[in-house]
């Protein structure tokens, strides 16, 4: 059986937020004081997550990405990966992380069946890294990347959210890293998800922050970027290579370019709600069904049936019910 939505899109990819908790407070993602975390009892257990993925695999889902919050702060993250990787039909389990805890966990995760990691890297400057993440250490990130490479969690993808007045001046330098490193760097447009507030002293105000991928590409025009076939799992990124480079540079444009027509994903929040679209509110609770021992596949079908044709940011319909860390960016 294949889960297919009303617009003919097969749903083969599930993104799972395993926790809303995070060990960083990136300015565009979380407020400095944090948010009220989910009550522990509402968070799905490893076994409950596995039951959703088993049903999803029966419905044709083949790839799963774990995210959050920060997935590596979950004490049972290795167990979660092991459970999901052993589910029949699941071809790939990958994970998005800030890498603060990756040095220690890369090998256990790889042994448990994790295939790849995406790592968030918004700046190459140590002090700015600490300011953007409100306390993160770029050295931990480099150590995490080295450990991930040693454990075979490759190819490494790096996600950079580009913000005017914050890190847009670094995109040339960031792109240059791909010449000697086989990393897939993706520049991402800032999405308006719960981050309209003031980010604090020295950070750009709301009206100045957004920069489109078109502008980013123009800034990189001196590199004569060559279009590339996207590496596996590059999702909506348009991918290019600096001639002769080992890695690639991609651009993800949730706002400037509409890529919803190719969307193949569903999301599962840490408290067990299926979310058909990152950027539109609307969810289906599976936690209650899980805890009542009811079948999950019909709820997956309902979520797929309610998947909108596309987000409606251009109509100023912004997601308001949750922050990015709660949905699983």
Q: Which of 138, 129, 154 is nearest to 247 (CA)?
A: 154
CA–CA–CA angle 312, 24, 81 (5° rounding):
80
Residue nearest to ligand SAM according to CB distances in the complex: 329
Q: What minimum distance in Å lies between the beta carbon of 115 and ligand SAM?
A: 16
Distance (Å, whole) CA 18 – CA 127: 29
- Which structure tokens are listed for 264? 């193949």
Looking at the Cβ atoms of 211 and 296, the one nearer to ligand SAM is: 211
Instruction: Work out how close the CB of 14 gets to ligand SAM at its nearest, in angstroms, rounded to a whole number.
Output: 15
Cα angle 129-15-38, degrees, rounded to a multiple of 5: 75
For ligand SAM, give the closer residue by CB, 252 or 303. Answer: 252
185 or 299, CB closer to ligand SAM?
A: 185
Q: Which of 75, 77, 57, 73 is nearest to 13 (CA)?
A: 57
CA atoms within 13 A on the CB side of 178: 28
* Residue 175 Cβ vs ligand SAM, minimum distance, rounded to whole Å: 17
**Sequence-ordered alpha helix ranges (H) in 256-296:** 287-291
Which residue, 70 or 283, is less far from ligand SAM as judged by CB? 70
How far, CA to CA in Å, does 266 sit from each of 214, 286, 328? Answer: 27, 13, 11
Q: Which is nearer to ligand SAM, 53 or 158 (CB)?
A: 158
SS (H, E, C) 44-91: CCHHHHHHHHHHHHHCCCCEEEEEECCHHHCCCHHHHHHHHHCCCCCC
- Report in angstroms how near the CB of residue 69 gets to ligand SAM at its nearest: 6
Q: How far is the CB of 133 from ligand SAM (least distance, A)?
A: 8
51: tokens are 């039951």
By CB under 6 A, name the binding residues for ligand SAM. 22, 28-29, 67-68, 70, 96-98, 120, 159, 161, 188, 190-191, 193, 195, 324-325, 329
Rounded least distance, CB 295 to ligand SAM, Å: 30
Q: Of the two residues 191 and 286, which places its CB atom closer to ligand SAM in the complex? A: 191
Residues 28 and 7: their CA atoms lie apart, in Å, by 32
- In the bound complex, what is the minimum distance in angstroms from residue 252's beta carbon to ligand SAM? 8
Q: For ligand SAM, which is the closer residue by CB, 59 or 68?
A: 68
CA distances from 31 to 41, 67, 161, 198, 326 (A): 24, 19, 17, 9, 13
């Amino acid at each position: 059986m294949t889960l297919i939505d009303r617009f003919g899109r097969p749903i083969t990819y599930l993104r799972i937020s395993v926790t809303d908790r995070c060990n960083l407070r990136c300015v565009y993602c979380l407020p400095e004081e944090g948010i009220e975390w989910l009550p522990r009892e509402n968070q799905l257990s490893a076994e409950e997550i596995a039951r959703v993925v088993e049903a999803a695999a029966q419905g044709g889902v083949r790839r799963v990405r774990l995210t959050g919050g920060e997935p590596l702060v979950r004490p049972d993250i290795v167990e979660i990966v092991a459970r999901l990787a052993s589910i029949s039909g699941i071809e790939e389990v990958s994970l998005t992380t800030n890498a603060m805890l990756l040095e220690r966990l890369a090998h256990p995760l790889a042994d448990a069946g994790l295939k790849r990691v995406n790592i968030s890297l918004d700046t190459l400057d140590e002090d700015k890294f600490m300011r953007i993440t409100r306390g993160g250490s770029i050295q931990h990130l480099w150590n995490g990347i080295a450990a991930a490479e040693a454990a075979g969690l490759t190819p490494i993808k790096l996600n950079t959210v580009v913000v005017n007045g914050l890190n847009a001046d670094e995109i040339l330098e960031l792109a240059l890293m791909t010449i000697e490193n086989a990393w897939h760097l993706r520049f991402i447009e800032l999405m308006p998800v719960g981050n309209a507030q003031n980010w604090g002293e020295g950070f750009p105000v709301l009206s100045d922050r957004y920069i489109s991928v078109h502008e980013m590409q123009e800034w990189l025009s001196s590199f004569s970027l060559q279009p590339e076939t996207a590496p596996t799992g590059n999702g909506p990124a348009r991918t290019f290579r600096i001639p002769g480079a080992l890695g690639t540079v991609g651009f993800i444009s949730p706002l400037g370019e509409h890529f919803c027509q190719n969307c193949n994903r569903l999301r599962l929040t840490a408290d067990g709600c299926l979310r058909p679209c990152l950027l539109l509110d609307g969810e289906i609770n599976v936690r209650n069904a899980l805890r009542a021992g009811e079948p999950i596949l019909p709820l997956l079908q309902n979520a797929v049936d309610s998947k909108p044709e596309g987000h409606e940011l251009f109509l100023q319909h912004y997601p308001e019910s949750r922050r990015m860390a709660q949905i699983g960016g």
